[in-house]
Structure 1
Amino acid sequence: MSLHRRRLLGSAPAVVLAAIGAGAPARGPDYAALARGIDGRVVVPGDHDYPEARQLFQPRYDAIAPGAVAYPAHAADVAVCLEFARRSAVPVVPRSGGHSYAGWSTRDGGLVVDVGAMDRLTVEGAGVRIGAGARLGDVNRTLAAGGLGIPTGLCPTVGIAGLTLGGGLGLVSRAYGTTSDRLTGATVVTPDGVVREVDATRDPELFWALRGGGGGNFGVVTEFRFRTHPADGCAQAELHWSEADSAAVLRGWQRWLGALPEPFWSQVEFVFGAGPVPAPAVRVLCFDGRTELDRELTRLSDLVGKPPRDSWIVVRGYEETLRAMSGCLEESAAQCHLPGSLPGRTPQGRIGRDGYGGRCDFWTGAGLPDAAVAAVLSAVRRYGQGVPAGGFGVVQFTGDCGGAVNRPAAADTAFVHRDCAFLTQYLAYWPESATPAEVARHQGWLDGLWRDLRPWASGRAYQNYIDPRLSTWREAYYGPNLARLEEVRRTYDPGRLFRFPQAI
């Protein structure tokens, strides 16, 4: 067997296998044996850290009680965990950041394999090795200190694993591609207990699938290897028109985006609650200097038909810009730490503990016609009429696509969305105190907006914004790449060790 493909079942795993025998134990899984068989840690109900370890990003999933949460120290520990789950017939779920919209990075009675302890980052020239447990805030801060970056999203507590495996769109994607486009190799533990070093020449089909095939499929990645990009300063602008100009802003922004140079990112966002109907906020980032930003802002105003009523521009460093965009400019990394990630590390603050639901659409061609723009604005205006107080809604139009994202062919990686103009996301948030009936009303508004846009939407959706209500998810996430992904799954996980409602 080659050096890059080896089974790690030595003396420690033998302790586990001897304890559980050939089949499932009569009294349930012996997690004490699993704890003795790995160098990492296993947290079970009754342990002091269990309430924290079981949590995901959203409080709506706090009632889910896994049988154990394992924190492997390295790939060999992951191999032991997977062998333990297979022989014990215990459902096993990988977890990185725990941000799955549908809560599918945990399971009642299952074994959660949390990769958070494997978070080491090592820069190697123009490349970087990143442990699967690293969070985006730490990745961006560490790389930016050396003038480097990789394409990432904004939320600092999102795990690098989930982002990459779902493709990964972010602020510099139009210039440098998706997160997975920068991937050059990965260490993966497949369900057979084999640790594989995969790249374009070693297990190439698995490597292809990892670049957009979605988290929770095929195996547990323990390390990623990326090509970095230069990360210098950034000019940032925010513009506001009046609410009466909303339709003109959306129409003009779409036309403007079509000719926007690649070193730009932009977003139109509506945030609304029970109060007055909001005006849209237009955010623009330029990674090519203030002069280019000024030129493009003038062009945007011309396409909208009038200048904004107010605006501001600031020039910051790359990492500082990312923190500012995520709302963490004044917060430390510890304050953006996610509950559940590492037992024993006390979080200094928690963000995002409101429950929420989300849906999304990729838009192709000319984007939203006037009738679709009217449908969006109608939904924004009716939010306060049918949704309980205490929550709020968000509609985002995000220019993550185009440029370098759209240069590869759809079949070059598993991430198939290579001809899209922009991405829209619709979100409804509610407080922890919301009753089931109140949550249903928030979700009802969300579903209503999504349904209203079906006559014009492409039918495609972003697999990282996983949607448990999406019946057409196979085609929406993967399109013509689905059959190839299914073949990779049959090759590497023929027994379907990894299962969740939208697993390939």
Structure 2
Amino acid sequence: MSLRRRQLLGSAPAAVLAAVGAGVPPRGPDFGALARGIDGRVVLPGDRDYAEARQLFQPRYDAVAPAAVAYPAHAGDVAVCLDFARRSAVPVVPRGGGHSYAGWSTRADGLVVDVGAMAGLAVEGTGVRIGAGARLGDVNRTLAGRGLGLPTGLCPTVGIAGLTLGGGLGLASRAYGTTSDRLTGLTAVTPDGAVREVDAARDPDLFWALRGAGGGNLAVVTEFRFRTHPAHDCARAELRWPDADSAALLRGWQRWLGGLPEPLWSRVEFLFEAGPPPPPPTVYVLCLDGRAELERQLTRLADLVGTPPQDSRTTVAGYEETLRVLSGCAERTAAQCHLPGTLPGRTPEGQVGRDAYAARSDFWSRAGLPDPGIAAVLAAVRRYARDVPPGGFGVVQFTGECGGAVNRPAAADTAFVHRDSTFLTQYLAYWPQAAAPDDTDRHQRWLDGLWQDLRPWASGRAYQNYTDPKLPAWREAYYGSNLARLEEVRRAYDPGRLFRFPQAI
């Protein structure tokens, strides 16, 4: 059956539906019928490729065994998969890059709909069409070759779908908005099996919701259409102050953000291991407007900190190279970036090691983090060496990617509600894949302790793309005043709750 025919019908081929039946077949769903009904591929337990197909980005979820992993070739295939799941009562989850912190892009005994085969990219003037399976490294490299860019995050293996659906913050966000702010339209398959061309005029409520609702909710998107921004050479700096100046640095950095021009992005990062004293934090600054403006802002930062950095390096490089360097992938080949869930023939050789990790996050308002909160962060960094076993590492990141163009839209303009924040923090704990359960628990306790220590000053809001399964009141933390409208859209487009996971809308 042609794609156009499937789009018109909005449902699976009759042969598939006949094989599935109106209810659950006595012997379970016929995944063989599903495989015969799509142009893509279905991988089942026992297949040679199953071990790789079921894998997510991090090894914490390697033991989860879905009943099948489907790789649709186009939107019509996705419609077949959703019809199959609905009629056979099989739990279904979409998967983009597979980076869900909580592992919610897989499901035991469920059907995983992996969009990785739909990864095409077509530049159309200053616009671009991007298949939902594309990864950020490929997107940034291809666009930068045309002098274009999108405000995306750094990790090259993250999927464009998950990033965009959760709003999307990145290095160019203060200048050009969130990733989802650049959307002009998308192709989405809703739980009723309909393939929809969605934009501000067609299904406007769904278009509103898909710009911030987060991955796994409301629909499976198969293609995104964006307005790009110009991407030229960037000036970047890496600076270090002595450890004794860490508190002054965090105070001065927060004040510095208040007058920062929009073409600048910055991060203060603490990265530390168990055992030795923690190293001083590293400050990263990126300027889209060249070296002169960067140098002016570095001088202003040093004045606000009160002392000059003890180490400073400034570089000018192309946009794509800058993203690679800041992501930590400058010394790796593309083949060394692990792509979860890919099949043989697409699986990179020489993959880097896979660490397990957990993370939590906070958006901060203009009040920022006061001196007692800064002291709590620095105490937690020092406490890591005492409380956490060797073999892993901790990270605390203060990232200035809010403000500017991110904050110009009203909170209700899209589902991404975090329009009055000044910066974002993320706290991460990594441990070896083979860590004993007690060691894993100690990493988790350290992470939860730091997060809890900051509650007196935190805004209570968190980034939906940094999924936190322990987050209390997560609906309000992710969606705030937009929650009621999101729930209305969910009732309209997914009344039967086909998409279910612990933090589904």
Query: Same fold, TM exceeding 0.5?
Result: yes
Alpha carbons 2:93, 2:216 under 8 Å: kept? yes
* Aligned counterpart, 1:160: 160
Residue equivalent to 1:28: 28
- The aligned counterpart of 1:174 is 174
Matched, 1:125 2:125: yes
* Distance in structure 2 (CA, Å) of the matches to 1:332 and 1:439: 30
The match for 2:41 is: 41
For residue 447 of structure 1, give the secondary structure of its aligned residue in structure 2: helix
Aligned to 2:283: 282
CA distance 1:422–1:4, change in 2 (3 Å) = farther
- Percent identity, aligned pairs only, is 79
* Residue equivalent to 1:207: 207
Pairing of 1:426-441 with structure 2 (within 5 A): 426-441=427-442
CA distance in 1, matches of 2:15, 2:333: 42
- Displacement of 1:9 after TM fit? 5.3
| 1:380-412 deviation line (CA, Å, top 9, x unaligned) | 011010111101100000001000000000000
CA-to-aligned-CA distance 1:209-236 (integer Å, 9 cap, x gap) = 0000111000100000000000000011
Letter in 2 for 1:220: V
| C-alpha deviation, 1:414, in angstroms | 0.2
d(CA) in 1 for partners of 2:398, 2:9: 46
Give the structure 1 partner of residue 267 of structure 2.
267
> Shift in Å at residue 6 of structure 1?
4.2
Q: CA deviation at 1:13?
A: 1.9
The 5 Å alignment of 1:461-480 reads 461-480=462-481
Q: With structure 1 as the length reference, what TM-score do the two structures score? A: 0.98
Q: Secondary structure at the match of 1:340?
A: coil
Q: Is the 8 A contact 1:138 1:333 kept in 2?
A: no
For residues 164 and 200 of structure 2, the distance between their equivalents in structure 1, rounded to whole angstroms, comes to 16
- 3-state DSSP of counterpart to 1:191: coil
* Structure 1 residue 322 corresponds to structure 2 residue 323: yes
Contact 2:7 2:76 in 1 (8 A): no
The one-character-per-residue Cα deviations of 1:251-301 (angstroms, maximum 9, x if unpaired) are: 010001110100000000000112112201000000001000011101111
| Distance change >3 Å, CA 38–CA 343, structure 1 → 2 | farther
Please give the residue correspondences for 1:214-233 in structure 2 after superposition, counting only pairs within 5 Å: 214-233=214-233
Match of residue 458 from structure 1: 459
Distance (Å, rounded) in 1 between the aligned partners of 2:69 and 2:469: 24
Separation in structure 1 between the aligned mates of residue 228 and residue 5 of structure 2, nearest angstrom: 24
Number of the residue aligned with 2:500: 499
Partner of 1:347: helix, strand, or coil?
Answer: coil
Amino acid at match of 2:414: T
Q: In the alignment, what sits opposite 1:416?
A: 417
CA shift digits 1:113-153 (9 cap, x unpaired): 00000000000111000000000000000000000001100
Residue pair 1:4, 1:197 contacting (<8 A) in 2 also: no
Q: Which residue of 1 aligns with 2:444?
A: 443
Asked if the contact 2:53/2:341 (under 8 Å) is kept, the reply is: yes
Q: Trace 1:58-137 onto structure 2 (pairs within 5 A).
A: 58-137=58-137
Q: 2:49·2:343 contact (CA, 8 Å) conserved in 1?
A: no
Q: CA shift at 1:341, angstroms? A: 2.9
Q: Does 1:252 align with 2:249?
A: no
Does residue 490 in structure 1 map to residue 487 in structure 2? no
How much is the aligned-residue C-alpha RMSD, in angstroms? 1.3
Shift of 1:490: 0.3
1:436 positional shift: 1.3
Quote the offset at 1:352 in angstroms. Answer: 6.0
Distance 1:9 1:367, change over 3 A: closer
Give the partner amino acid of 2:55. Answer: Q
Aligned-pair CA distance for 1:46: 0.7
Structure 1: unaligned runs, 5 residues or longer: none
Residues of 2 paired with 1:185 and 1:343: CA distance? 33
Aligned residue runs from structure 1 range 369-380, under 5 A: 369-380=370-381
Q: Could you say if the C-alpha distance between residues 429 and 95 of structure 1 is closer, same or farther in structure 2, counting changes exceeding 3 Å?
A: same
Q: Distance in 2 between matches of 1:482 and 1:352?
A: 38
- Matches of 1:318 and 1:488, distance apart in 2: 38
Matches within 5 A, 1:283-298: 283-298=284-299
Count of residue pairs the alignment pairs up: 501
Q: Residues of 1 paired with 2:76 and 2:322: CA distance?
A: 38
Instruction: Indicate if the aligned counterparts of 1:53 and 1:343 stay in contact, CA closer than 8 A.
Output: no
Q: 1:462 to 1:9 in 2, by over 3 A?
A: closer
Greater mean alpha carbon deviation, residues 334-343 or residues 260-269: 334-343
**Aligned-pair CA distance for 1:5:** 11
1:396-407 aligned at under 5 Å gives the runs 396-407=397-408
Q: Is the 8 A contact 1:184 1:225 kept in 2?
A: yes
Question: Alpha-carbon deviation of 1:333?
Answer: 2.5
Structure 2 unmatched ranges of 5 or more: none
- One-letter amino acid matched to 1:312: R
Contact 1:59–1:353 under 8 Å retained in 2: yes
Indicate how the Cα distance of structure 1 residues 4 and 153 shifts in structure 2: closer, same or farther if over 3 A, else same: farther
Counterpart of 1:285 in 2: which secondary structure? strand
**Deviations 1:41-85 (CA, angstroms, capped at 9, x unpaired):** 000011111000000001010000000000000000000000000
Q: Which moved more, 1:467-476 or 1:336-345?
A: 336-345
Could you say which residue in structure 1 is the equivalent of 2:482?
A: 481
Q: Secondary structure of 1:226's partner?
A: strand
Do the aligned partners of 2:97 and 2:340 also contact (CA within 8 Å) in 1?
A: no
Q: CA deviation at 1:324?
A: 0.7
Deviations 1:182-214 (A, max 9, x none): 000000000001000000000000000000011
1:5 and 1:197 in contact (8 A); partners too: no
